[in-house]
Amino acid sequence: MTVKLAFAALLAAAAARAAAPAPTVAQAQAFIERAEKTLEDLNTKDNFANWAYSTYIIYDTEKLAAAADLAYAVETAKLAGEALKHEKLDLPADVRRKILLLKLSVSAPAPEDPREQKELADIQAWLQGEYGKGKWCRAADKCLTLPDMEDILRDSRDPKELLEVWKGWRTVSPPMRRKYERFVELSNKGARGMGFADTGVLWRSRYDMSPTAFTAELERLWEQLKPLYASLHAYTRHRLIEKYGKEAVGDDGLIPAHLLGNMWAQSWENVYPLVAPPSSDPGYDLTKILEARKTDEKEMTRMGERFFTSLGFEPLPPTFWERSLFTKPRDREVVCHASAWDVEDSQDLRIKMCIKPNAEDLVTIHHELGHNFYQRAYAAQPFLLRGSANDGFHEALGDTIALSVTPEYLKQIALVDKVPGAEGDLGLLMKMALERAAFLPFGLMVDQWRWKVFSGEVKPEDYNKAWWDLAAKYQGVKPPVERSEADFDPGAKYHVAANVPYTRYFLAQVLQFQFYRALCEQTGHIGPLHRCSFYNDKKAGERLNRMMAMGASRPWPDALEAMTGSRKMDANAITEYFAPLKIWLDAENAKRAK
C-alpha cells in the first residue's frame, strides 16, 4: 500500500468513527454486563489451569496455564479499551465504578498497533523468563539458582561469600536493560491512548484520589514511620559494625546491602541472631509444642478456621478440605509457596501450602485463611467488584489476623499453659520489626523508581544511579561495591521484571496495623497493643465482615471507615505497636553515641 493510500485509509477510518452514533447509557450497561460474564468465565478457566499447574508441575500443565493466562490478559486489555467510549456518559454509580476498575486493571496497557501489542507481550514474557531461569555460576559445574543464593545470604556470616553471592545474582539482570527501556516506551504509549500521561499515572489513579494526592499521601505516611525506622536502622548498623568491623560497613551512615540477610535488603529477620536483645526468650517454643503434640497439617488449618468461627463466621465448605493442598506430595513437583485461592465464584475456596508443624506455618495459615474468608465475604458482589477496596487491603487483612497470634491467643487455644511475662517481649518485637518495619522503605521506593522512569524524570542512562539514590534516601542502604550503568539492579527484583505494582505492599503494612488496632479497641483491650488478640470477639467479627463484604464496590475510604471509624490511613498504629521496642532502641543507640 502506498503512503497516499494508507493516509486515505486512515482518513476513512477517522470519518467512520466520527459518523458513528454516540453510545448510550443502555449500551454501557449492556457492555459491562457482557464484559463481566466474559471475564468471569475466562477467570474461572484461568484459575483451574493455574491450580493444575501449581499442584502438578509438568510441561503440559505449564502450557495450559500459559494459554489461559494469555487469553484472560488479552480479553481484559481489549475490554478495557472498549470501556473508554462509555466514560463520558452520565452512568449509574455501580456501572461507572465497574468501568473505572476495568480500565485501571491493566498494569501494562498496550498500544493500538497490533504489531506493538505483540512486541509488548513478547517483551513482558521475555523479561519474566529471564528472571525465572536466572542462575549464577561460580564455576562451570556449579551454578546457583536464586533460592540457593538466598539460603547463603540467610545463613552465611562470611562477608566475602555474601558479597560474591550478592554480585552473582545481579549478573542476571543487565541483559534486561534494553528490553526494559522499550517496555517503558510501549506501555507509556498504551497509557496515553487510554488518557493517562504515562503508566505511572495510570497506576496511581487506582486509589480513589488524584495521582498527585496519592503521592502526597504516601509521603505523609512515610513521615510518620521514619523515626521508628531510623532507630531500627541505627541499632542494626551498630551491631553489624560489631560483627563485621567498621571497614566492612563504612562511616557514611549507610548499611551495605549484602549484610542484611536478604537479596534486596527488604527485610532483615535473617540477621536476628546478630541483633537480638539480651532478654529475648519468649518463654515457650511453639514449634516444639506443635511437634510434641504431633499436630498434623489439617489440624493446624483447623486451628486457623476456628479463629474465624470464634468471630462468628461460618466454617469453610467441605470442598475446601477436599480440594486444598496441605502437604508436599511425594510423587510430583508443586509450587509450595503458600497462597489462598478463589477458584470459582467465591464458592470453591482453597489454600495451597506445604505445611510443616512449626510456629511460622501456623501464623501463615491464619494469614492465608484471612484471604479465603475475605473472598467468601464479597461473594455476593458482581464479578468486577469482587476484590479488596484497594490492592493493599487483601494482604493487610491476612496479616491483621496473623498479628492476633499472640501468647494470649495461644493460651486461649491451650497451646501454652500460661501467658509468659513481658520479659521476652523485646525479642518478639525485634523479630517483627526486622520483618515488617524494615520492609517499609523498600515497599515505598520500588514504585518511586518506576514512576520516575515512566514519567521520564529518570532517563535510561540513569536507571541504576536513580535506583541506588532512592535506596540511600529511603532505606539508608548502599551497594557494597561500585555500580555503573552497565548494571541493571532494578531488574534483579522480580516485581520490576514482571511489572507487578509494589506500593500495595507498603499500604498493606500500614493498613494491617490500623485494622488490628481498631479490632483490639473493639474488644476493650487494655495493655500493650502487641499483646492483644481479638479471638472469640463476635463484635470484632461483625466489624471485620462489614468491611470485607463491600469488596471493591465502594471507594477505599468507605471500607476503611467501616473497619476503623476513620477515612484516613494512619501509620501511627505501627509506632504504637512498636513503642516499647523504640524506647529500648533509642536507649541503646544513645549508649553507643557516647
> Which residues have a catalytic role annotated?
337-338, 367-368, 371, 395, 495, 505
Q: Which three cell numbers stand for residue 429?
A: 518485637
Strand partners, 524: none
- Burial-class residue 338 by CB neighbours within 10 Å (0-12, 13-18, 19+): middle
Q: d(Cα 159, Cα 455) in Å, to the nearest integer?
A: 38
* Contact in structure between 402 and 367 (CB atoms under 8 Å): yes
* Contact in structure between 343 and 349 (CB atoms under 8 Å): yes
State how far Cα 361 lies from the chain centre. 19
Q: For residue 527, which of 438, 441, 451, 419 has the smallest C-alpha distance?
A: 419
Q: What stretch of H or E contains 449?
A: helix 440-455
Using H for helix, E for strand and C for coil, what is the string for 499-533?
CCCCHHHHHHHHHHHHHHHHHHHHHCCCCCHHHCC
* Contact in structure between 468 and 489 (CB atoms under 8 Å): yes
HSE (CB half, 13 Å, CA atoms) of 24? 4
Q: For residue 390, which of 187, 97, 190 has the smallest C-alpha distance?
A: 97
| 3-class state of residue 76 by DSSP | helix
Q: For residue 523, which of 543, 500, 553 has the smallest C-alpha distance?
A: 543
* Contact in structure between 131 and 498 (CB atoms under 8 Å): yes
b/e burial code for range 217-246 (CB count within 10 A of at least 16 → b): bbeebbebbeebbebbbbbbbbbbbebbee
| 3-class state of residue 144 by DSSP | strand
| 3-class state of residue 145 by DSSP | strand
* Contact in structure between 108 and 77 (CB atoms under 8 Å): no
b/e burial code for range 577-593 (CB count within 10 A of at least 16 → b): bbeebbebbeebbeeee
Q: How many CB atoms lie within 10 A of CB 24?
A: 11
